[in-house]
């Protein structure tokens, strides 16, 4: 079913490129009640974004419903099954209306998160599959961990030279909050591509599980063969590496997959991680 967008803020009229906000200091700030990102809110299974001339710009499949991604010419690019939540938001303040490449942006969470003793309400997201506590590098050439390019606590969900073609497809980074205080869960979902290959994975923070991050994988067309997956405390501190340029590190699967094919849980307090299956 196609429905119209019920609220549009900024999408299609992106702000000019701007300096990233000052990196937050761990343990400071107040708990915000809303997230002030440029976004689109879609209330039902598939949202349709239209250009001024009426062309379909993209369709956003939501919450386990299948949808076609349409380019401006009208040809189907791929089908996508969305799993992030009932009302996910798309991050659109990248400073560009074209493909996002080697870029970072910040996002404010509804509760503070902690990892390797870094505590913050604000995370920095890299288009290359990396989530940072504080500043974040735009480095796209992955290495073994620890990486000297990242100075703070960092989550390498799928560090690779990824792209977000959000100008003509539904690719992007989406997020949602589920549950109630003090058991809220904040989910960040990447839908990205690289050389016509698609990737879908989530980074999840639980309000009542400080120091722990969960990463779920749904699709990786090349099996993560050129990616680094893991976490690190700093460029010289503790780290946990699951894979680096490893064949079949992540199950391939497809755009219709709605259950995670691989789940990694990293515990920074014990510096251990678990893998399922």
* 3 state SS for 78-117: EEEECCCCCCCEECCCCCCCCCEECCEEEEEEEEEEEECC
- What's the domain count of the chain? 1
Q: Which residue has the higher pLDDT, 179 or 8?
A: 179
Give the tens place of pLDDT for each residue, 88-114: 788 877 766 678 999 999 999 999 999
Any domain includes 72: no
Any domain includes 30: no
| Band of pLDDT at residue 195, cut at 50, 70 and 90 | confident
Q: In whole angstroms, give the CA distance from residue 57 to residue 51.
A: 6
Any domain includes 185: yes
Any domain includes 268: yes
pLDDT at 93: 73
For 23, 117, 125, 132, 157, the CA distances from 114, given in Å and listed in that order, are 15, 6, 16, 11, 16
Range of the domain at 167: 90-276
């Amino acid at each position: 079913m196609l429905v119209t967008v019920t609220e549009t803020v900024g999408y299609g009229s992106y702000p000019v490129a701007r300096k990233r906000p000052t990196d937050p200091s761990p343990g400071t700030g107040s708990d915000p009640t809303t997230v002030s990102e440029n976004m689109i809110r879609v209330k039902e299974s598939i949202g349709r974004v239209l250009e001024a001339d009426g062309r379909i710009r993209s369709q956003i499949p939501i919450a386990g419903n299948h949808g076609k991604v349409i380019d401006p010419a009208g040809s189907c690019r791929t089908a996508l099954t969305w799993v992030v939540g009932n009302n996910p938001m798309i991050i659109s303040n990248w400073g560009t209306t074209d493909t996002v490449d080697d870029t970072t942006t910040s996002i404010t969470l509804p509760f503070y998160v902690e990892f390797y003793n870094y505590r913050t309400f604000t995370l920095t997201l890299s288009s290359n599959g990396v989530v940072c506590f504080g500043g974040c590098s735009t480095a796209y050439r992955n290495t073994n961990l620890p990486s000297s390019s990242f100075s703070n606590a960092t989550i390498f969900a799928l560090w690779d030279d990824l792209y977000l073609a959000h100008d003509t497809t539904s690719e992007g980074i989406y997020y949602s909050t589920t549950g109630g205080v003090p058991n809220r869960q904040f989910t960040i979902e990447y839908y990205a591509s690289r050389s016509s290959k698609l990737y879908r994975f989530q980074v999840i923070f639980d309000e009542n599980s400080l120091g722990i991050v969960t990463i779920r994988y749904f699709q990786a067309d090349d099996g993560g063969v050129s990616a680094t997956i893991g976490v690190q405390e700093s460029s010289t501190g503790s780290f946990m590496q699951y894979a680096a340029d490893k064949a079949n590190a992540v199950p391939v699967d497809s755009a219709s997959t709605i259950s995670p094919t691989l789940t990694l849980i990293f515990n920074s307090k014990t510096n251990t991680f678990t893998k399922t299956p």
